[in-house]
Copies of this chain bind each other. A is one copy, B any other.
Amino acid sequence: MRLRSLFSMLLLALILAAPAFGESAEVVDCLSCHEKQTPGSVLQWRQSAHEAAGVGCGDCHGADHQSIDAGEAYVDMEVCGQCHAGALERHKESRHGMGLHSGWGCTRNLTGRDPRECAFCHEEDSAAPLSTVECGRFLKQSFEMGQAGCNRCHQVERSCAACHTNHGTDLAIVRDPAVCATCHMGPDHPQWEAWSTSKHGTLNKSTGIGPTCQDCHMSGGDHNVSAGVAYPSSGLRYDEAETQKRRDAMLDLCAGCHGRNFATRELLNTDTIREQSTALVEQAAEIIRELADERLLAPMPADRPGHPLRGQELVLDQQILFEDVSHIERLYFKMKKYDLAKTLVGGYHQNPDYTHWYGNAELKMDLVDIKSEALRLRRLSALEKGTVRTEPKPDPTQDLERELQRLKSRFERGALDEEAYREQKTKLLEALK
């Protein structure tokens, strides 16, 4: 805390001193080349509060040009935290600052990785992992997909620039809900879409009175974005006291516009939907486990590339993969990672279409497909094992009866006109003779 005061004073001093002194020799040195090499970055810095406060290139990037060139002088959150200690502290307490915990896989045995990735899992110069939570899905990606996909969002765990941009400091950027959209969208967690078309989002668009992402999740600029989120996203739960503390923090915000009782009922309603929807997912998981017991998955885990973390095991928990699995597990992946998330994100953001059509209805349709595939696999297997008692040579009279019934049913619903009905009926009866 004292350190922070020190930084604040230092910052104030810099702000006051900078305009008087103009650009320092060091900054001028960088600019002489970079105004030609990277004019955009220089311009963004020139228009920033950093320039006004005399914070120059070297203050963030360091003075060792060789290490900058090698990508080793990464300007991570600790660099920003030298001045912005309060924000950093709260960031670290939130899911945004959880590092490895929220998805980074252990990359040490893989080739072609960006060396900066080490810092996501290890203290400097240490082989000991910072966490035991690793991500099987990430480990299946190519280096390039890891960069363009997973890491593009998960950089928030180390980088303030993920939201604030690299050289600008315009707070309009981070106060607009759009800044959240790039990551908080898509099939796995459509917060952006759910908010945009919720009452909150549409009122924000029409009149500005609907709350933004930041109004509820970063109230007063608090960098702990998880403060009022009562459930961790992993399917785990906080203990009762922690859950209530977080719920109360959110309700305090709701009460700014809504009656507290109304808001409480709303959130409890989605809590119940969470339980109901999770039960649907669990029902599907049990169907798959039973198929695995009967050795009916096609292919079985033993006959396909192993899971990066768990080998030839059937994985249906948070580490479930979407590749190198069987069709029924792929359906389950959609159910667990996409449709359950849409149901809950839709519910907590009061978006009826996300919670019902994109979420809960899809969960139920997936379950139809999963049950259907299970039945199909069992029928095929029974045929292959010869355990289906093939029916005795059919009795032609019974067959005829069934055919006549079909004909009548088609006629009755108008799929057959009277003439065709009679003709085909006669034909059937004659065939018997």
Partner of A369, one of B202, B330, B376, B387: B330
The answer to whether the Cβ of A298 comes within 8 Å of any Cβ in the partner chain is: yes
Interface window among A180-188, A223-231, A234-242, A419-427? A180-188
Contact stretch, chosen from A57-65, A88-96, A255-263: A255-263
A202 touches B179 (CB 8 A): yes
8 Å CB contacts to B: which residues of A28-46? Answer: 37-41, 44
Kindly state whether residue A27 has any CB partner on chain B within 8 Å: no
Contacts of A376 in B (CB 8 A): 298, 376, 380
Tell whether A165 is near chain B: CB-to-CB under 8 Å.
yes
- A178-B149 CB under 8 A given contacts A358-B186, A383-B384, A384-B390: no
Asked if A18 is an interface residue, CB under 8 A from chain B, the answer is no
Across-interface contacts of A387 in B (CB, < 8 A)? 394
Q: Is A409 an interface residue (CB 8 A)?
A: yes
Interface footprint category on A? 35 or more
Contact mask A400-433 → B, CB, 8 Å, 1/0? 0000011001100101000000000000000000
Chain B residue numbers with a CB within 8 Å of A293 are 405-406, 409-410
Closest to A69 in B: B261
Q: How far is the CB of A215 from chain B (nearest CB, A)?
A: 12
Q: Is the CB of A323 within 8 A of B358?
A: no
Are B273 and A144 within 8 A (Cβ)? yes
- Which of chain A's residues 299-342 have a Cβ closer than 8 Å to chain B? 299, 322-327, 330, 333-334
Does A147 belong to the interface (CB within 8 Å)?
A: yes
Check: A6 CB closer than 8 A to any chain B CB.
Answer: no
**What are the residues of chain B within 8 A of A323 when measuring CB–CB?**
361, 364-365, 367-368
A259 to B37, CA, bound (A): 7
Residues of B within 8 A of A178 (CB): 201-203, 205-206
A233 at the A/B interface (Cβ < 8 Å)?
no
Asked whether any CB of chain B lies closer than 8 Å to the CB of A67, the reply is: no
Cα A125 to Cα B388 in complex, Å, equals 58
What distance in Å separates the Cβ of A397 from its nearest Cβ neighbour in chain B? 16
Binds B, one of A7-15, A77-85, A98-106, A169-177: A169-177
Chain B residues, CB < 8 A from A380: 376, 379-380, 383
Closest to A328 in B: B372
Q: Is A16 at the interface (CB under 8 A from chain B)?
A: no
* Contact A273 B148, CB 8 Å, known A40-B255, A361-B322, A384-B379: yes
Knowing A197-B182, A351-B182, say if A325 contacts B356 (CB, 8 Å).
no
Q: Chain B residues with Cβ under 8 A from A356's Cβ? A: 145, 148-150
- Is A159 at the interface (CB under 8 A from chain B)? no
Between-chain CB contacts (< 8 Å), 18 pairs: A37-B260, A38-B255, A40-B258, A41-B258, A142-B276, A145-B360, A148-B269, A148-B355, A168-B209, A176-B207, A178-B203, A181-B202, A185-B197, A186-B353, A293-B406, A333-B365, A334-B365, A376-B376
